[in-house]
Amino acid sequence: MKGAKEEVPSPNPYYGPSGPNEHRPGDVQTMSEQDVLYEVDNGVATVTINRPAKYNALNTVVVGTLREMMKQAEEDDSVRVVILTGTGEKAFAAGADIAEFKDKDSKTVRPLAENGHEFCKYMESMSKPV
């Protein structure tokens, strides 16, 4: 039905330091699938970071899920444009969730930061406007 909203389930991949489903021993990553919302309405995909209590800070799992949502929008021929937004009144996104870096050394933190940078590069390279 044209113009109808399509609810799409949010995948919940774990993006560890080396990519999907790879993590270091002791890493604990959890996320409600509701931390990232995805909706398509009339050719517009809306991807919403939904962590207002954390000012929509981006942890590894959220970044991985955002990447999957952007890929889904990129591959969906009905999507013409993507909107990336955040819930709450105080921040669109605070940036990296530094709580994830607590008690980790630089060898562990660097790949986490690079994962965020790679997501931004991916988003910039998309064929659809974001």
Highest average pLDDT, of 51-55, 107-111, 112-116, comes from 51-55
State the pairing for strand pair 81-86/44-49. Answer: parallel
Tell me how far apart the alpha carbons of residues 73 and 91 are, in angstroms, rounded to a whole number. Answer: 24
42 vs 12, higher pLDDT: 42
Provide the token pair at 31: 């996320």
Q: What is the torsion angle, in degrees rounded to the nearest 10, for the CA atoms of residue 105, residue 111, residue 117 and residue 120?
A: -120
Average pLDDT in the 1-28 region? 41
Instruction: Identify the helix (H) or strand (E) that includes residue 39.
Output: strand 36-41
Of 8, 10, 15, nearest in space to 32 by CA = 10
Tell me how far apart the alpha carbons of residues 6 and 8 are, in angstroms, rounded to a whole number. Answer: 6
Please report the pLDDT score of residue 75 as a whole number. Answer: 96
